[in-house]
Amino acid sequence: MTRKFFAAVALGLLTSGTALAGWNSGGGELFKDGLNPWFIQNTKTVSACIEVDTDHFHYADGTDLKRDYIDKVLAYWKGQFAGQRVNSEFPTWPRTATQRFEFGPCTDETEVRFQFGVLSPAQLKQFDRRGQDPRDFLSLAVRTDYDRVSLRGKGFVYIAPDSGPLKPYSSDIIDRPWSANGGIRLVKVLAHEVGHIFGVAHTSSGPDDGALDELMSAQYPEAIVRKRFADDSFIVRPDIPPFFTEDLEATSGSCVIGDDVHFSQRVRQFLVLPPEFNCIWFKRKDGIIDVFGSKYADGSAGRQRLGTITLNDQKAYIRAENPIHMWLPPEQTIVHVPEGYVLNVGPDRVAWSDLATYEDVSHSVRRSVHVTVFPGTQSISAEGITDSGRLFYLFETSMPKARKH
């Protein structure tokens, strides 16, 4: 079941923008300035506008597209980037998400258009010229212009309508995704696309590619609207998950025991996993990770608590990565650094590990484990520690996730 679904993802029934060659749409062109933030600190204000097709784009009653979605998402990213500092050695080092967005009517000069269910005739023509069908897309952030001197871009964010001629083809989308659950899906998909405006490319901070629950993974927007994930915690939780920092409220897990029987037996014994369970799920809150078992990958046959992993709270920081890179065009006049064309922008994301103790529900076993937590996602990996002090692989997960087979 799981495999089938992820195969469908790989075929790209829906994409969030990577396939639009020529337009820069975040995660697409891995060269030159294609992934640059659309604006850096020399741009103080950005002109923006909103277009909505109210006949075909339905959002939650009583909510306002600017106040409850766009402003919320812009504030989210400003908060995420708050950790970026002015580099005292190189004060012109690029910073992103520093701009004030000023909303007005949509004109040819508008720098960022937020288009809810709307594509202009010229944009439709662009799809056509590329042999693309807009109904293959759920959401997009497309940079249409970039001034290589002032490092200032222009473009649009598009969120597909839930009905009408531009409604996505996929039948695996819940009804009225943007108004369901008070609009939480619209906030999250918009946060993903606006992340591209600020230069955040597609990531997978987990041990494997394809953590569907991670905000900036390529599959995130489509995972958010899938029928099969409709009740999953990464969707129904109201807040946008943190991008740079760890997620203290992570409440999910994954089916992590695969087809490898030998591996499974070892993990089974270590965690005291009853034979009827094939999957392990996790629910993390601060330093406690509750471990659950379930029969099926989707948890449909019910989950049963197996035990608890308690972190020792002596974190070791093991890896810092910076997912935002900026390529400096030779003609630019804004950033003055001695050398180098590719610069890191924004705060680092830091993974950490900790020693921990696993105890099963019956308190019959207490075992030492080594846990690694990846920032910005619920992704956790763990190794068991045997009595003789050897480490062996237990699991690595985020939920739900495209497993490699």
- Please name which of 239, 136, 233 lies closest in space to residue 188, comparing C-alpha atoms: 239
- Residue 178's alpha-carbon distances to 60, 69, 212, 358, in angstroms, are 7, 11, 19, 40
286 versus 321: smaller Cβ distance to Zn ion:
321
18 versus 233: smaller Cβ distance to Zn ion:
18
Share in percent of the chain as helix, strand, coil (round to 5): 20, 25, 50
> What HEC string does 34-61 produce?
HHCCCCCCCCCEEEEEEEECCCCCCCCC
At closest approach, how far in Å is the CB of 288 from Zn ion?
Answer: 33
* Omega of the bond leading into 400 within 30 degrees of 0 (cis): yes
- Residue 82's alpha-carbon distances to 21, 257, 268, 297, 345, in angstroms, are 32, 39, 43, 38, 12
219 versus 353: smaller Cβ distance to Zn ion:
219
At closest approach, how far in Å is the CB of 358 from Zn ion?
Answer: 36
18 versus 310: smaller Cβ distance to Zn ion:
18
At closest approach, how far in Å is the CB of 202 from Zn ion?
Answer: 6
127 versus 296: smaller Cβ distance to Zn ion:
127
CA atoms within 13 A on the CB side of 5: 20
At closest approach, how far in Å is the CB of 26 from Zn ion?
Answer: 5
212 versus 328: smaller Cβ distance to Zn ion:
212
Tell me the residue nearest to Zn ion as measured from the CB: 16
Taking a C-beta distance cutoff of 8 angstroms, is the pair 222, 12 a contact? no
Query: Within the chain, what is the greatest distance between any pair of CA atoms?
Result: 69
Taking a C-beta distance cutoff of 8 angstroms, is the pair 289, 282 a contact? yes
Binding site for Zn ion (CB under 5 A): 16, 26
Where do we find the tokens 């990565």? 321
Taking a C-beta distance cutoff of 8 angstroms, is the pair 189, 216 a contact? no
At closest approach, how far in Å is the CB of 24 from Zn ion?
Answer: 12
At closest approach, how far in Å is the CB of 196 from Zn ion?
Answer: 6
At closest approach, how far in Å is the CB of 112 from Zn ion?
Answer: 16
At closest approach, how far in Å is the CB of 52 from Zn ion?
Answer: 21
206 versus 384: smaller Cβ distance to Zn ion:
206
26 versus 168: smaller Cβ distance to Zn ion:
26
- Residue 4's alpha-carbon distances to 138, 281, 292, 403, in angstroms, are 21, 20, 24, 11
